[in-house]
Chains A and B, each alone.
Chain A
Amino acid sequence: MKVGIVVFPGSNCDKDCIYAVKTVMKKDPVIIWHKDIPSDNVDFIIIPGGFSYGDYLRAGAIAKFSRIMDYIKEANERGKLILGICNGFQILTESGILPGALIKNNSTKFICKDVYIRVENNKTVFTSFYKDKDVIKIPIAHKEGNYYIDDNELAELIKNNQIVFRYSDESGNVNDKTNPNGSKYNIAGIINKKGNVLGMMPHPERSIESLLGSKDGQLIFISILNNEKINF
């Protein structure tokens, strides 16, 4: 499995993703500058967090016009695996690869803390090593992480089992009190219908070893590694 990590001007979690891919997946990732098209055939693309183009216009709104997005759209059509984390998730919604939008947190503040999320769907290539309804401790760090989608489309997401993670407490209770940013239906991460693109606001690459406070994010990278044979 060839792993590629996309870097935009303003990306700042790319190094963490490289570290996670090296230590958990034992792979040497290709670093893809947004203006370049990778010569290698990449099987798994990570769009890391950060503030691409300074979040000008809206978070992810400028990055969606960059050259690498044509490559990512094509990779999506070919069923390659794509993981958008934080700003990467915002870029995927802005470009229409994933439904919905990420708007300002209800508190209007930047939130940087550990939260708990509950695995709602462990039948995806990204989450198959989790148990159903596992609760994961994982950090968030964002100001625009408030997931919005209209009610009809939310019903579609629920019906298609596209909601992968929801904000919860340590015991797995999901309610308004366990919602850090105002996200509709406590949504922390969703997958596309086909099942090859996951977007999430929390940072699995920052929760891969106990020294960092949690290693609960490891299983995302391990799941991906073990599902490379699945065709979309």
Chain B
Amino acid sequence: MKYRVILKLKPNVLDPEGNTIKEAGLRIGFNNIKDIRVGKVFEIEIDGNIEDAKTITEKLLLNPVIETYEIEETK
């Protein structure tokens, strides 16, 4: 099975990278940008179900101190 995992910084963790991108966007005239936050996307293929994929995400990919994640099955 294939899954897509999105790791995101928790809302209360500052994102200097996202902020820098936002500032650049404002500078070139995208005045409607309110916020940009940067995360990571993983496309993983495993012999297993979504629970297995969640276990892998939590044990291998995630730092629960600063990150949360979303997961979905993909084709």
Task: Give A residues with C-beta under 8 Å from B.
Answer: 57-58, 61, 65, 93-94, 99-101, 103-108, 146, 148-150, 182
Contact = CB atoms under 8 A, between A and B. Distances in A.
A53 to B, nearest CB: 13
Contacts of B17: 104, 108
28 contacts: A57-B61, A58-B63, A61-B63, A65-B60, A93-B65, A94-B63, A99-B65, A101-B66, A103-B9, A103-B13, A103-B14, A103-B66, A104-B16, A104-B17, A106-B14, A107-B16, A108-B16, A108-B17, A108-B20, A146-B14, A146-B16, A148-B13, A148-B14, A148-B65, A148-B66, A149-B65, A150-B12, A182-B16
A61 B65 CA distance: 13
A63 to B, nearest CB: 13
B26 to A, nearest CB: 16
A107 B20 CA distance: 9
Nearest to B60: A65
Nearest to A103: B66
Contacts of B14: 103, 106, 146, 148, 182
Contacts of A106: 14, 16
Interface string B52-75: 000000001101011000000000
A104 B37 CA distance: 13
A42 to B, nearest CB: 28
Contacts of A150: 12
Contacts of A182: 14, 16
B55 to A, nearest CB: 15
A58 B9 CA distance: 12
A211 B12 CA distance: 43
A61 B63 CA distance: 8
Contact of B65 (A65, A101, A104): A101
B16 A105 contact: yes
A18 B19 CA distance: 39
